[in-house]
Amino acid sequence: MAFENLKVRLLMILDEATHQPEDLHELQEELREEIAGFRAQGLPVPDDITRLEARLEAALNLPK
């Protein structure tokens, strides 16, 4: 169930990014926290989420 909760939260973050692009820095940080949650539970981070994280970092010019 924890995996499903994380997936739902990621979908919510993506929805927020779509509707509130001015908050991308905050959303990027939330995404990092959710990814850390996946890793803390020993769950694999889906490839599309990893790619999204990289795209957000590039768009926001953030270091990896």
Which pLDDT value is given to residue 38? 83
Cβ atoms 27, 13 nearer than 8 A: yes
Report CA 5 to chain centroid distance, whole Å: 13
Which pLDDT value is given to residue 43? 85
pLDDT band, residue 64 (cuts 50/70/90)? low
Find the mean pLDDT for residues 4-11.
Answer: 76
Which residues constitute the domain of residue 28? 2-60
Evaluate if residue 2 carries a pLDDT over 80: no
- Burial class, 31, CB count within 10 angstroms (exposed 0-12 / middle 13-18 / buried 19+): buried
Which pLDDT value is given to residue 63? 57
Distance CA 10, CA 30 (A): 9
pLDDT tens sequence across 16-53: 777 776 777 887 888 888 888 888 889 888 888 888 78
Query: Integer distance in angstroms from the first to the last C-alpha of the chain?
Result: 30
How many domains, in total, are found in the chain?
A: 1
